Structure 1
Amino acid sequence: MAESAWDEIIECVGAAPYPVQVLPADPSRARECLARLEISERSWLGAVTLNSGGLTIDHGWLRVLGSGTDLQTDVVSASKPEQGLVLVAYDVLGGHFTWTAAEPGAPPTIHYFALDTLEYEDLERGYADWLHAMLSGAMTEFYSSLRWTGWEAESAAARLDQGIHVFPPPSTVEGKDLNHVSRDVIPLKELLEFNSGIEI
């Protein structure tokens, strides 16, 4: 087995159909995060944590957590690894992805807190399968109902510690079409707490 999954990940990054940025990692912080997760860099989650501060995908729309940067939290800080709950990514609208078991004893899968339903959806994919899909073009369909004309520029302009608050929200009838809602850039911390009560 390969010593690290990072080469596989970088290959997917290079072939992605939309922009992907690998955020630089601080080596000591990265090693500490990996140790706290108690996983190896042979896994995709471990490789992302050890080798990057995180990834931004598709004009900064999706922020995949790694060992953190000055503007983006690390994968451990908002997670509870000892309880099997790991926050692995969030998007510019404040939706987020966790890696957790659907029930005790089951293998962990990625769950998405969807802004149009305000509920967690089990995507029934492991971390590697999920990230591979996101890097390979799945985001376009996954987010098709949550985008508007010109979203690329607005998403790219938001800093990593910022998100876009939309009102009325997508969970309402009035907020289904994001071309016709108000959109404001606010601190991501506030956006995540407002949408789902999660703290980073």
Structure 2
Amino acid sequence: MKQIFRTLILFSLTIFSPAVFAQNKMQSLEELINNTDPAWPLVQKWIGSAKNKVEVLAPDSAKAKDALYNMQVSTYSTLGSIIYNTGGIMVDNGWLRILGSGSTRLKRNVPEWNKGKTIQEYGDKPGYLLVADDAAGGFFAINYGALGSDLKNIYYLAPNSLNWEPLNAGYGEFILFCFDSDLSAFYKGLRWASWDQFIANLDGSKSYSFRPYLWSEEGKDIDKCTRKLVPTDDLYKFNIVKQKELKAAVKE
């Protein structure tokens, strides 16, 4: 997985501004909406030339403003532009879900999804920020110090290892990866033979849980596992608990 990211980006990305979180007070919505040099036009170009199937979910204006304000990130950044201009983005018929400001198909937005997980209150500085996930129960996050020394890079909580794997790419590069890369290669071993028949109408707030667990020795072959749709929220919390248990067992 890591090697795919290392070779994917063939040019330098200079427009991206890291998410700027509140220091002492919440910035106003007017301060966060950048009308001079927003990132959204560039993201639109990526969408227009995407190699993978990309569906931009329409945002609700009021919810988009609330999400942007609660996240305290400028639309100058790629993250802020996606929160403000989309209800979320579905890639590969919804296999991969990039969070925005929420919609009927993806009833989660970035700040709300992180509250109670990586932050306690809006405006808090997270150790990492959950920004996307997939139907196989994997989660993508921007690292703000809790996952490694490579700040602002994306990590993947892989369902077949329960480890946070560094992808050696920032958020903007990650979005390009979602749009243009060979996702079948990235997800090798995490897609069962008929996966594409189950994804098109998948609720964006649900993910598949597998038995045996994919991270267990018995769960190495996903085609031999049974699967069940569960709330993505429940699966994330379960995986974090199991991750801690596995790390504690290794130390013993």
SS at match of 1:13: helix
Where do 1:134-153 residues align within 5 Å?
Answer: 134-153=178-197
Where do 1:1-200 residues align within 5 Å?
Answer: 3-70=37-104, 71-79=106-114, 80=119, 82-84=124-126, 85-102=128-145, 107-197=151-241
How large is the RMSD of aligned CA atoms in angstroms?
Answer: 2.2
TM-score by length of 2: 0.72
Read off the aligned partner of 1:97 and give its amino acid letter.
F
Read off the aligned partner of 2:187 and give its amino acid letter.
Y
Shift of 1:189: 2.5
Shift of 1:105: 8.2
SS at match of 2:184: helix
* Separation in structure 2 between the aligned mates of residue 150 and residue 11 of structure 1, nearest angstrom: 32
* Separation in structure 1 between the aligned mates of residue 79 and residue 182 of structure 2, nearest angstrom: 19
- Runs of 5+ consecutive residues of structure 1 not aligned to the other structure: none
Read off the aligned partner of 2:51 and give its amino acid letter.
P
User: Which one is further off, 46-55 or 166-175?
Assistant: 166-175
Read off the aligned partner of 2:63 and give its amino acid letter.
R
The number of residue pairs the alignment matches comes to 198
* Separation in structure 2 between the aligned mates of residue 15 and residue 180 of structure 1, nearest angstrom: 37
* Separation in structure 2 between the aligned mates of residue 170 and residue 195 of structure 1, nearest angstrom: 11
Structure-2 change in CA distance of 1:17 and 1:106 (3 Å): closer
Shift of 1:118: 0.8
**Deviating 4+ runs (over 3 angstroms):** 102-107
* Separation in structure 1 between the aligned mates of residue 52 and residue 195 of structure 2, nearest angstrom: 14
Q: Percent identity?
A: 30
Contact 2:83–2:99 (8 Å) recurs in 1? yes
* Separation in structure 2 between the aligned mates of residue 82 and residue 122 of structure 1, nearest angstrom: 23
SS at match of 1:98: strand
Q: Which has the higher strand share?
A: 1
